Amino acid sequence: GENVEQHPSTLSVQEGDSAVIKCTYSDSASNYFPWYKQELGKGPQLIIDIRSNVGEKKDQRIAVTLNKTAKHFSLHITETQPEDSAVYFCAASMDFGNEKLTFGTGTRLTIIP
Amino acid sequence: DAGITQSPRHKVTETGTPVTLRCHQTENHRYMYWYRQDPGHGLRLIHYSYGVKDTDKGEVSDGYSVSRSKTEDFLLTLESATSSQTSVYFCAIKGGTGAYGYTFGSGTRLTVV
């Protein structure tokens, strides 16, 4: 089955700086890669996703890049703000209807004011 | 999250007792999932459903069973709770506010003593 590794497990950055979280996956058949943000006491919430036919996708301060050859994808957050502090999860699945997402172990991002 | 509710939100139970967690959706989504979240493990799939009475196992299904007799309800049962099943349990639907991805419920914190 699919295995997703995520690094780092914790990340602290100064407010206004950029943050990068990286994930690798094992199954070359995977072609859907979402990122979720989880705030304390809540369920994870989808913030951005990318499919394998696209190398990069951007939504305001958030971007995701995908390298299918190397089987890794990354989340980039620019101009970080205190409300970006949360746990972030990457995930991977095959895009064939019933997507059973395999998640990474999470990154706790702390924005230092 | 809009359209998906989990109950109870918190529960403490004794080892060896059966426990049932409920996930209810109001948006008629076909796919529903149960995950557990533990430190260092991220989110791991327990069981999923692709329709009424159609369910299948995930990667950590031992000790759990599920039922889906109606589209809107997906029940997770711990047949005989053990301390290793102390966790936070999340239900998810494919779609909803998560569009193509998952929409998660707010979670059930289960403690087995």
Work out the average pLDDT over A71-94.
96
Is the confidence at residue B102, as pLDDT, over 90? no
Residues of B in contact with A1 (CB under 8 A): 59
Q: Distance from B79 to chain A by nearest Cα, in Å?
A: 24
Give the residue-averaged pLDDT of B71-78.
97
Between B96 and B84, residue with greater pLDDT: B84
Give the Å distances, CA to CA, from B70 to A32, A60, B24. Answer: 29, 40, 10
CA distance B61 to B46: 5
Strands B87-94 and B102-104: antiparallel
pLDDT at B1 over 50: no
Instruction: Tell me which residue in B1, B42, B102 faces A105 most closely, judged by beta carbons.
Output: B42
Residue A86 has pLDDT above 80, yes or no: yes
Using the Cβ of B2 and the Cβ atoms of chain A, whether some distance falls under 8 Å is answered with no
* Mean pLDDT score of chain B: 92
